[in-house]
Copies of this chain bind each other. A is one copy, B any other.
Amino acid sequence: MGVEARNRVRRGSGRPTLADVANLAGVGTITVSRALREPERVSVDLRQRINAAIDKLGYVLNPNARALASARADVIGVLVPSLTNNVFAEVLRGIHDGLGDTALQIQFGNTHYSTQEEERLLPVFLSQHPSALIVSGIDQTPATRRLLDEAGCPVVQIMEVGGDPVDMMVGFSHFEGGRTVTQHLIDVGCRRIGFIGARMDPRSLRRLSGYRAAMEQAGLFDAGLVTTTATPSSVSLGCELFRRARESAPDLDAVFCNNDDLAMGVLFACQRAGIAVPQRVCIAGFNDLDMMAVACPSITSVLTPRYEIGRRAITMAQDAIAGERPLEAVVDLGFELKIRESTDRPRC
Protein backbone atom coordinates (compact mmCIF):
# COMPACT_ATOMS: atom_id res chain seq x y z
CA MET A 1 0.00 0.00 0.00
CA GLY A 2 1.45 3.32 -1.01
CA VAL A 3 2.06 6.01 1.46
CA GLU A 4 -0.52 8.19 -0.20
CA ALA A 5 -3.10 5.49 0.23
CA ARG A 6 -2.63 5.41 3.98
CA ASN A 7 -5.26 7.74 5.18
CA ARG A 8 -3.33 9.56 7.88
CA VAL A 9 -5.56 11.21 10.38
CA ARG A 10 -4.43 14.36 12.06
CA ARG A 11 -5.75 14.82 15.56
CA GLY A 12 -4.42 18.22 16.38
CA SER A 13 -6.30 21.21 17.61
CA GLY A 14 -6.07 22.74 14.18
CA ARG A 15 -4.04 25.61 15.49
CA PRO A 16 -0.70 26.53 13.95
CA THR A 17 2.37 24.77 15.33
CA LEU A 18 6.03 25.48 15.51
CA ALA A 19 6.46 23.49 12.31
CA ASP A 20 3.96 25.69 10.50
CA VAL A 21 5.89 28.75 11.52
CA ALA A 22 9.15 27.11 10.44
CA ASN A 23 7.71 26.25 7.04
CA LEU A 24 6.39 29.72 6.43
CA ALA A 25 9.66 31.30 7.51
CA GLY A 26 11.68 28.76 5.56
CA VAL A 27 13.74 27.59 8.54
CA GLY A 28 13.97 24.54 10.78
CA THR A 29 11.68 24.07 13.73
CA ILE A 30 14.51 24.24 16.18
CA THR A 31 15.42 27.68 14.95
CA VAL A 32 11.93 28.89 15.66
CA SER A 33 12.10 27.26 19.07
CA ARG A 34 15.35 29.05 19.77
CA ALA A 35 14.07 32.35 18.47
CA LEU A 36 11.38 32.07 21.13
CA ARG A 37 13.59 31.11 24.06
CA GLU A 38 16.99 32.59 23.29
CA PRO A 39 16.54 35.24 20.60
CA GLU A 40 20.18 36.34 20.86
CA ARG A 41 21.31 33.04 19.47
CA VAL A 42 19.41 33.47 16.24
CA SER A 43 20.53 35.85 13.50
CA VAL A 44 18.60 39.07 13.18
CA ASP A 45 17.53 38.19 9.69
CA LEU A 46 15.94 34.87 10.60
CA ARG A 47 14.46 36.30 13.74
CA GLN A 48 12.55 38.88 11.73
CA ARG A 49 11.26 36.33 9.27
CA ILE A 50 10.22 34.09 12.14
CA ASN A 51 8.45 36.85 14.00
CA ALA A 52 6.64 37.84 10.85
CA ALA A 53 5.49 34.26 10.36
CA ILE A 54 4.37 34.05 13.98
CA ASP A 55 2.30 37.18 13.63
CA LYS A 56 0.83 36.11 10.32
CA LEU A 57 -0.19 32.71 11.66
CA GLY A 58 -1.26 33.95 15.08
CA TYR A 59 0.94 31.27 16.55
CA VAL A 60 0.86 30.61 20.29
CA LEU A 61 3.26 28.20 21.91
CA ASN A 62 1.77 25.05 23.40
CA PRO A 63 2.91 24.97 27.03
CA ASN A 64 1.94 21.33 27.42
CA ALA A 65 4.19 20.23 24.61
CA ARG A 66 6.99 22.36 26.01
CA ALA A 67 6.54 20.94 29.48
CA LEU A 68 6.52 17.43 28.13
CA ALA A 69 9.60 17.87 26.01
CA SER A 70 11.63 19.70 28.59
CA ALA A 71 10.34 17.76 31.59
CA ARG A 72 9.73 21.06 33.32
CA ALA A 73 6.71 23.34 33.34
CA ASP A 74 6.98 27.10 33.62
CA VAL A 75 4.68 26.92 36.59
CA ILE A 76 5.14 27.78 40.22
CA GLY A 77 2.82 25.95 42.56
CA VAL A 78 1.50 27.90 45.53
CA LEU A 79 -0.26 26.19 48.41
CA VAL A 80 -2.13 28.43 50.85
CA PRO A 81 -4.61 27.54 53.59
CA SER A 82 -7.24 30.10 52.63
CA LEU A 83 -8.26 32.54 49.94
CA THR A 84 -10.81 34.51 51.92
CA ASN A 85 -8.42 35.35 54.72
CA ASN A 86 -7.10 38.79 53.90
CA VAL A 87 -3.63 37.77 55.05
CA PHE A 88 -3.23 35.19 52.31
CA ALA A 89 -4.95 37.34 49.75
CA GLU A 90 -2.20 39.87 50.41
CA VAL A 91 0.49 37.22 50.15
CA LEU A 92 -0.87 36.22 46.76
CA ARG A 93 -0.94 39.84 45.69
CA GLY A 94 2.71 40.09 46.62
CA ILE A 95 3.48 36.96 44.65
CA HIS A 96 1.72 38.31 41.60
CA ASP A 97 3.43 41.65 41.81
CA GLY A 98 6.82 40.06 42.35
CA LEU A 99 6.32 37.88 39.32
CA GLY A 100 6.80 40.81 36.99
CA ASP A 101 6.53 40.07 33.30
CA THR A 102 8.12 36.63 33.32
CA ALA A 103 6.46 33.80 31.44
CA LEU A 104 5.97 31.91 34.69
CA GLN A 105 2.48 30.90 35.63
CA ILE A 106 1.17 30.61 39.15
CA GLN A 107 -0.94 27.65 40.12
CA PHE A 108 -2.80 28.02 43.39
CA GLY A 109 -3.96 25.34 45.71
CA ASN A 110 -6.23 25.89 48.69
CA THR A 111 -5.52 23.52 51.57
CA HIS A 112 -8.37 24.86 53.70
CA TYR A 113 -6.09 24.79 56.74
CA SER A 114 -5.87 21.02 56.46
CA THR A 115 -2.55 19.19 56.35
CA GLN A 116 -4.46 16.22 54.94
CA GLU A 117 -5.69 18.26 52.05
CA GLU A 118 -2.20 19.57 51.52
CA GLU A 119 -0.91 16.02 51.39
CA ARG A 120 -3.57 15.17 48.82
CA LEU A 121 -2.88 18.27 46.74
CA LEU A 122 0.88 18.14 46.60
CA PRO A 123 1.20 15.10 44.28
CA VAL A 124 -1.19 16.78 41.86
CA PHE A 125 1.04 19.81 41.78
CA LEU A 126 4.21 17.77 41.58
CA SER A 127 2.86 15.78 38.65
CA GLN A 128 3.16 18.88 36.52
CA HIS A 129 6.86 19.21 37.25
CA PRO A 130 6.63 22.77 38.54
CA SER A 131 9.66 25.01 38.41
CA ALA A 132 9.25 25.85 42.08
CA LEU A 133 6.89 25.37 44.99
CA ILE A 134 5.67 27.81 47.64
CA VAL A 135 3.97 26.27 50.66
CA SER A 136 2.51 27.82 53.79
CA GLY A 137 3.78 27.12 57.25
CA ILE A 138 6.18 24.64 58.72
CA ASP A 139 3.80 21.98 60.00
CA GLN A 140 3.61 19.57 57.09
CA THR A 141 2.78 15.90 57.58
CA PRO A 142 5.70 13.45 57.30
CA ALA A 143 4.44 12.31 53.89
CA THR A 144 4.20 15.89 52.65
CA ARG A 145 7.61 16.60 54.05
CA ARG A 146 9.11 13.69 52.17
CA LEU A 147 7.49 14.79 48.91
CA LEU A 148 8.86 18.28 49.38
CA ASP A 149 12.34 16.98 50.14
CA GLU A 150 12.27 15.01 46.89
CA ALA A 151 10.42 17.60 44.84
CA GLY A 152 13.47 18.25 42.70
CA CYS A 153 12.71 21.95 42.53
CA PRO A 154 13.19 24.97 44.79
CA VAL A 155 10.78 25.05 47.71
CA VAL A 156 9.91 28.16 49.74
CA GLN A 157 8.04 27.86 53.02
CA ILE A 158 6.26 31.06 53.89
CA MET A 159 4.61 32.85 56.84
CA GLU A 160 6.90 31.58 59.56
CA VAL A 161 10.52 31.06 60.36
CA GLY A 162 11.73 28.23 62.50
CA GLY A 163 11.73 24.46 62.48
CA ASP A 164 13.82 22.55 59.98
CA PRO A 165 13.58 24.25 56.57
CA VAL A 166 12.95 22.06 53.55
CA ASP A 167 14.83 24.55 51.44
CA MET A 168 14.12 28.27 51.77
CA MET A 169 11.90 30.19 54.15
CA VAL A 170 10.35 33.68 54.45
CA GLY A 171 8.27 34.84 57.37
CA PHE A 172 8.45 36.09 60.89
CA SER A 173 8.10 34.76 64.42
CA HIS A 174 4.49 34.49 65.50
CA PHE A 175 5.64 33.61 68.97
CA GLU A 176 7.53 36.87 69.25
CA GLY A 177 4.59 38.74 67.79
CA GLY A 178 2.27 37.38 70.44
CA ARG A 179 4.80 38.00 73.18
CA THR A 180 5.42 41.58 72.11
CA VAL A 181 1.76 42.63 72.10
CA THR A 182 1.12 40.99 75.42
CA GLN A 183 4.15 42.66 76.95
CA HIS A 184 2.86 45.98 75.68
CA LEU A 185 -0.48 45.40 77.41
CA ILE A 186 1.35 44.51 80.60
CA ASP A 187 3.49 47.61 80.24
CA VAL A 188 0.49 49.93 80.04
CA GLY A 189 -0.76 48.51 83.30
CA CYS A 190 -3.21 45.79 82.33
CA ARG A 191 -3.26 42.75 84.58
CA ARG A 192 -6.23 40.61 83.59
CA ILE A 193 -5.33 40.25 79.92
CA GLY A 194 -7.49 37.86 77.96
CA PHE A 195 -6.49 35.96 74.83
CA ILE A 196 -9.16 35.46 72.19
CA GLY A 197 -8.42 33.16 69.31
CA ALA A 198 -10.27 31.57 66.42
CA ARG A 199 -9.31 28.87 63.93
CA MET A 200 -6.25 28.05 66.04
CA ASP A 201 -4.04 26.95 63.21
CA PRO A 202 -0.35 26.40 64.03
CA ARG A 203 0.50 30.08 63.74
CA SER A 204 -2.34 31.08 66.04
CA LEU A 205 -1.08 28.56 68.53
CA ARG A 206 2.39 30.06 68.45
CA ARG A 207 0.97 33.53 69.04
CA LEU A 208 -0.85 32.04 71.99
CA SER A 209 2.44 30.59 73.22
CA GLY A 210 3.97 34.05 73.02
CA TYR A 211 1.08 35.45 75.03
CA ARG A 212 1.48 32.74 77.62
CA ALA A 213 5.22 33.27 77.91
CA ALA A 214 4.78 36.97 78.58
CA MET A 215 1.97 36.40 81.06
CA GLU A 216 3.85 33.72 82.95
CA GLN A 217 6.95 35.80 83.15
CA ALA A 218 4.90 38.58 84.71
CA GLY A 219 3.19 36.10 87.00
CA LEU A 220 -0.17 36.94 85.45
CA PHE A 221 -1.08 33.78 83.56
CA ASP A 222 -4.47 32.28 84.22
CA ALA A 223 -6.01 29.63 81.97
CA GLY A 224 -9.41 31.21 82.56
CA LEU A 225 -8.23 34.19 80.54
CA VAL A 226 -7.88 32.16 77.35
CA THR A 227 -10.88 31.80 75.06
CA THR A 228 -10.42 29.93 71.81
CA THR A 229 -12.42 28.08 69.19
CA ALA A 230 -11.70 26.10 66.05
CA THR A 231 -14.35 28.08 64.16
CA PRO A 232 -12.97 30.31 61.40
CA SER A 233 -12.38 33.87 62.46
CA SER A 234 -14.82 36.67 61.73
CA VAL A 235 -15.90 39.99 63.18
CA SER A 236 -19.14 38.54 64.51
CA LEU A 237 -17.23 35.71 66.13
CA GLY A 238 -15.13 38.33 67.89
CA CYS A 239 -18.29 39.70 69.52
CA GLU A 240 -19.33 36.24 70.57
CA LEU A 241 -15.97 35.22 71.98
CA PHE A 242 -15.70 38.44 73.95
CA ARG A 243 -18.99 37.71 75.65
CA ARG A 244 -17.76 34.24 76.44
CA ALA A 245 -14.48 35.59 77.76
CA ARG A 246 -16.29 38.00 80.08
CA GLU A 247 -18.25 35.14 81.51
CA SER A 248 -15.19 33.22 82.63
CA ALA A 249 -13.26 36.36 83.56
CA PRO A 250 -15.58 39.29 84.38
CA ASP A 251 -12.65 41.38 85.57
CA LEU A 252 -10.93 41.39 82.15
CA ASP A 253 -9.07 44.66 81.60
CA ALA A 254 -7.56 43.87 78.21
CA VAL A 255 -7.90 41.50 75.28
CA PHE A 256 -5.26 40.34 72.85
CA CYS A 257 -7.00 39.04 69.76
CA ASN A 258 -5.60 36.43 67.51
CA ASN A 259 -6.31 38.70 64.55
CA ASP A 260 -7.91 41.96 63.59
CA ASP A 261 -11.34 40.63 62.66
CA LEU A 262 -11.81 39.42 66.19
CA ALA A 263 -10.48 42.68 67.60
CA MET A 264 -12.99 44.60 65.54
CA GLY A 265 -15.73 42.37 66.88
CA VAL A 266 -14.57 42.94 70.43
CA LEU A 267 -14.67 46.68 69.91
CA PHE A 268 -18.23 46.48 68.60
CA ALA A 269 -19.24 44.29 71.53
CA CYS A 270 -17.75 46.83 73.93
CA GLN A 271 -19.59 49.66 72.22
CA ARG A 272 -22.87 47.78 72.53
CA ALA A 273 -22.26 46.89 76.15
CA GLY A 274 -21.17 50.40 77.01
CA ILE A 275 -17.70 49.29 78.00
CA ALA A 276 -15.23 52.14 77.57
CA VAL A 277 -12.19 51.40 75.39
CA PRO A 278 -9.44 51.77 76.47
CA GLN A 279 -10.49 53.03 79.90
CA ARG A 280 -12.09 49.83 81.08
CA VAL A 281 -10.83 47.36 78.51
CA CYS A 282 -7.82 47.61 76.22
CA ILE A 283 -7.90 45.87 72.82
CA ALA A 284 -5.07 44.67 70.61
CA GLY A 285 -5.28 42.82 67.32
CA PHE A 286 -2.90 41.12 64.93
CA ASN A 287 -1.94 41.84 61.28
CA ASP A 288 -2.87 45.50 61.22
CA LEU A 289 -5.54 45.58 58.56
CA ASP A 290 -6.24 48.98 57.10
CA MET A 291 -9.33 49.53 59.25
CA MET A 292 -7.48 49.29 62.56
CA ALA A 293 -5.97 52.74 62.10
CA VAL A 294 -9.31 54.44 61.46
CA ALA A 295 -11.57 52.57 63.86
CA CYS A 296 -13.02 54.65 66.65
CA PRO A 297 -11.07 54.29 68.85
CA SER A 298 -8.19 53.18 66.63
CA ILE A 299 -6.94 49.73 67.53
CA THR A 300 -3.44 48.64 68.49
CA SER A 301 -2.18 45.82 66.28
CA VAL A 302 0.89 44.07 64.97
CA LEU A 303 1.77 44.99 61.42
CA THR A 304 2.81 41.81 59.65
CA PRO A 305 4.75 41.81 56.36
CA ARG A 306 2.35 39.57 54.45
CA TYR A 307 2.60 41.40 51.13
CA GLU A 308 6.37 41.47 51.43
CA ILE A 309 6.41 37.77 52.25
CA GLY A 310 4.75 37.06 48.90
CA ARG A 311 7.17 39.27 47.02
CA ARG A 312 10.23 37.83 48.69
CA ALA A 313 9.05 34.26 48.26
CA ILE A 314 8.57 34.62 44.53
CA THR A 315 11.86 36.44 44.14
CA MET A 316 13.72 33.73 46.00
CA ALA A 317 11.98 31.09 43.93
CA GLN A 318 12.87 32.80 40.68
CA ASP A 319 16.47 33.27 41.71
CA ALA A 320 16.70 29.63 42.70
CA ILE A 321 15.23 28.57 39.36
CA ALA A 322 17.92 30.64 37.69
CA GLY A 323 20.46 28.76 39.76
CA GLU A 324 21.26 31.59 42.15
CA ARG A 325 20.98 30.39 45.70
CA PRO A 326 20.21 33.19 48.15
CA LEU A 327 22.79 34.19 50.71
CA GLU A 328 20.27 33.59 53.45
CA ALA A 329 18.01 30.60 52.98
CA VAL A 330 15.87 31.74 55.90
CA VAL A 331 14.58 35.31 55.86
CA ASP A 332 12.92 36.79 58.94
CA LEU A 333 10.96 39.84 57.82
CA GLY A 334 9.92 40.78 61.36
CA PHE A 335 6.83 42.71 62.40
CA GLU A 336 5.97 46.06 63.93
CA LEU A 337 3.80 46.87 66.93
CA LYS A 338 1.42 49.70 66.08
CA ILE A 339 0.31 51.35 69.32
CA ARG A 340 -3.02 53.15 69.07
CA GLU A 341 -5.89 54.54 71.11
CA SER A 342 -7.30 51.17 72.13
CA THR A 343 -4.34 50.61 74.46
CA ASP A 344 -3.63 54.22 75.31
CA ARG A 345 -4.04 54.05 79.04
CA PRO A 346 -2.08 56.05 81.58
CA ARG A 347 0.04 53.57 83.46
CA CYS A 348 -1.21 52.82 86.91
**Helix, strand, loop or mixed for chain A's interface?**
helix
Interfacial residues of chain A within 53-94, with CB under 8 A of chain B in the complex: 60-65, 67-68, 71, 73, 83-84, 86, 89-90, 92-93
Q: Is the CB of A107 within 8 A of B105?
A: yes
Q: Is the CB of B12 within 8 A of A71?
A: yes
Write the nearest CB–CB distance from A314 to chain B, whole angstroms.
Answer: 13
A295 at the interface (CB under 8 A from B): yes
Of the candidates B84, B96, B236, B261, the one whose C-beta lies within 8 Å of that of A93 is: B84
Residues of B contacting A254 in the complex (Cβ-Cβ under 8 angstroms): none
Q: Is the CB of B127 within 8 A of A294?
A: no
Of the candidates B60, B83, B126, B235, the one whose C-beta lies within 8 Å of that of A89 is: B83
Question: Known contacts A63-B128, A64-B129, A128-B64; is A290 also within 8 Å of B235 by CB?
Answer: yes
Interfacial residues of chain A within 196-214, with CB under 8 A of chain B in the complex: none
Residues of B contacting A264 in the complex (Cβ-Cβ under 8 angstroms): 291
A11 at the interface (CB under 8 A from B): yes
Segment with Cβ contacts to B, from A132-140, A158-166, A265-273, A325-333: A265-273
In Å, the complex CA distance between A73 and B269 comes to 50
Interfacial residues of chain A within 179-221, with CB under 8 A of chain B in the complex: none
Residues of B contacting A129 in the complex (Cβ-Cβ under 8 angstroms): 13, 64
A123 at the interface (CB under 8 A from B): yes
Residues of B contacting A235 in the complex (Cβ-Cβ under 8 angstroms): 290-291, 294
Interfacial residues of chain A within 214-244, with CB under 8 A of chain B in the complex: 234-236, 239
Question: Known contacts A236-B291, A268-B296; is A64 also within 8 Å of B68 by CB?
Answer: yes
In Å, the complex CA distance between A160 and B93 comes to 24
Residues of B contacting A90 in the complex (Cβ-Cβ under 8 angstroms): 84
Residue interface mask A142-170, B partner, CB < 8 A = 1 = 00000000001000000000000000000
Apart from A64-B128, A83-B96, A264-B291: 17 A-B pairs, beta carbons within 8 A? A11-B71, A60-B126, A62-B68, A62-B127, A63-B128, A64-B64, A64-B65, A64-B129, A83-B93, A84-B93, A89-B89, A105-B107, A106-B108, A235-B290, A235-B291, A236-B290, A272-B296
Closest 9 A-B residue pairs measured CB to CB? A235-B291, A271-B296, A64-B67, A84-B89, A60-B127, A64-B68, A13-B71, A236-B294, A64-B64
Residues of A within 8 A of B (CB): 11-13, 60-65, 67-68, 71, 73, 83-84, 86, 89-90, 92-93, 96, 105-108, 110, 123-124, 126-129, 152, 234-236, 239, 261, 264-265, 268-269, 271-272, 290-291, 293-296
Offer 18 A-B interface pairs, CB within 8 angstroms, sorted by A: A11-B71, A13-B152, A60-B126, A64-B64, A64-B129, A84-B86, A84-B93, A107-B107, A234-B290, A235-B294, A236-B293, A236-B294, A239-B294, A261-B291, A265-B291, A268-B294, A268-B296, A272-B296
